[in-house]
Structure 1
Amino acid sequence: MSHPPSLTPPLVNYRPPMEPYLDVLFADAHFVIVDKPSGLLSVPGKAEEHRDCLEYRARERFGDTRIVHRLDMDTSGIMVLARTDECHRNLGRQFEKRKVEKSYMARVWGAMAADAGQVDLPLICDWPNRPKQMVSHEHGKRAVTDWQVVARDDVSTLVRLTPHTGRSHQLRVHMLSLGHVIMGDRFYAEGEALAAADRLMLHAESLRFIHPDRGEWVEFISPCPFG
């Protein structure tokens, strides 16, 4: 008897961090900027025990916030939530048309030889092992990431990542493709690279977009907690 593949790994023993409960960096009548901790879902899961998430907490406080984009549960960092329908549509279009500028910090396993580079590898869902993703030149969607070394130590490299596309697990798989998996990554890391950190060492550091009401560029920064 065959069994359907399970999610890898399953979302079990969900214990989202409670301090800080909601770290608000900025709020006006149009949107809210928050700093999501690692371990908190961006949106609720299907099960009741997975209801607690960033969107739920923001609505508790503000009453009118809506998710515009997501970060993986294990990723920390900056997110924007819309407070009006008009703002939600405006920001949604900016993300869709890739007008939004984002940067991430990651600590990867091993010493990267070069100081900077670009990964241009198409990605597709690794369906039997979902939600993992994989490179597929035949069926994948284009994914592009710039990377730049910030610092090195004996076992790891701190890099700044600038994605030009927004594919699922893009930064994780692109770093893996270079032979330098992100430390603490429970999906892709193994052995020492997995055990070396108690969380995924990936942080959304900055977010830059056009203010939906004022029409001017605004930028928000969340300092990297593991730099």
Structure 2
Amino acid sequence: MSSEENRRFEVDESGHGERVDKFLASKEEDWSRMAVQSWIREARVRVDGRPVKSNYRLKAGERVEVTVPPPEEPKVEPEPIPLDVVYEDDNVIVVNKPRGMVVHPAPGTPSGTLVNALLAHCKDLSGIGGVLRPGIVHRIDKDTSGLLMAAKNDRAHQSLAAQLKAHEVDRMYVALVNGSLPHDKGTIDAPIGRDPRDRKRMAVEPRNGKPAVTHFEVVERFRRATLVQCRLETGRTHQIRVHMKYIGHPLVGDPVYSTNYRKFQIEGQALHARVLGFQHPATGERIRLEAELPEDMQRLIRGFRKHL
């Protein structure tokens, strides 16, 4: 059973003057501001040893301590949601996830996820990911479509996770980006971390980010956009979306990183995980799978070609 967790944070100059609830909510992806405020009401948060209110403004040099309560053990129910299964055996299942589907349950999305669908479809899934993420080895964003693999047992999960860590999994994405890229190919090597101004966004963070490398190559050019393929060397949250924005060419339809996303007939960013390659965890055979672009991206491409 999970126990309470004690965390401590030193306030630096960037946190000076910030509300304590906002400061703490930016420290972990799963810490919502509402949750932090409830911890403050329960006297779980102290600044230099004394309890404070949510609107307390921090000063540089202060120490913030928080006693995080144990998470409630959730129950994830199987749901008979149709799946586009691209590959399946006793160890691995690979699906072509549609745009708009969340990968696993989270606050605000307790059902209707890929995990709910997998639990109904598969007899067994690896338990390494815990209750909320059974079988999930890697993720793609809700509004990104394409190939995603899940493990049916712990041994397969460990093998696939090790391959991801060693950069031995081949992941190729196709994206539509705004504007015309100046080069036909290139590499973006820029560390990514949580945006200090908005915890729901990621950003290139040279000091506090984790290494992130994206290789891109132009496939086709249009008047207002460019079709590119991207290969991931690392797998940071929102990596392609952040890197393309960083070089001045955010993804078409991206509601988070692009300012003109409403101009295009697509719900979410035009990004598709097209190719997935890995070594089979049981046989050692090299598996390479491909999923065609979804209709919404194909429709956008046809429209761009008409206006070359």
> Displacement, 1:203?
0.5
Higher relative contact order (CA 8 A, sep 6+): 1
Q: What runs of 5+ residues in structure 1 fail to find an aligned partner? A: 11-19
Aligned to 2:91: 30
Partner of 2:226, secondary structure, is: strand
User: Which residue does the alignment assign to 1:39?
Assistant: 100
- After TM superposition, list the pairs within 5 Å mapping 1:2-151 onto structure 2: 4=22, 21-47=82-108, 49-65=109-125, 66-151=135-220
Shift of 1:113: 2.3
Once the two structures are TM-superposed, the CA of residue 194 in structure 1 deviates from its matched residue by: 4.0
Aligned residues of 1:145 and 1:163 also touching (Cα < 8 A): yes
Q: Which consecutive segments of 4 or more residues in structure 1 shift more than 3 A?
A: 1-7
1:180 corresponds in structure 2 to 249
Structure of greater Rg = 2
Q: Which residue in the other structure is 1:159 paired with?
A: 228
Tell me whether 125-134 or 64-73 shows the greater mean CA deviation: 125-134
Q: CA deviation at 1:195?
A: 2.6
TM-score (norm 2): 0.65
| Cα shift at 1:176 | 0.6
CA contact (8 A) 1:151 1:159 kept: yes
* Percent of residue pairs identical: 34
Range with bigger deviation, 135-144 or 200-209: 135-144
Query: Offset of 1:110 from its aligned partner?
Result: 0.8
1:211 matched to which residue of 2? Answer: 280
Alpha-carbon shift at residue 172 of structure 1 (Å): 0.5
State which of 276, 288, 291 in structure 2 corresponds to 1:222. Answer: 291
CA offsets 1:78-131 (integer angstroms, 9 cap, x no match): 011111111111111111222111000000011112211111111111144122
Write out per-residue CA displacement over residues 146-192 of structure 1, whole angstroms, 9 at most, x where no aligned residue. Answer: 1001111111100000111111111001111111100111111112x
Match for 2:166: what amino acid? K
Matched position secondary structure for 1:209: strand
- Match of 2:173, SS? strand
Tell me, in whole angstroms, the C-alpha distance in 2 between the residues paired with 1:50 and 1:157: 36
- Separation (CA, whole Å) in 1 of partners of 2:266 and 2:157: 34
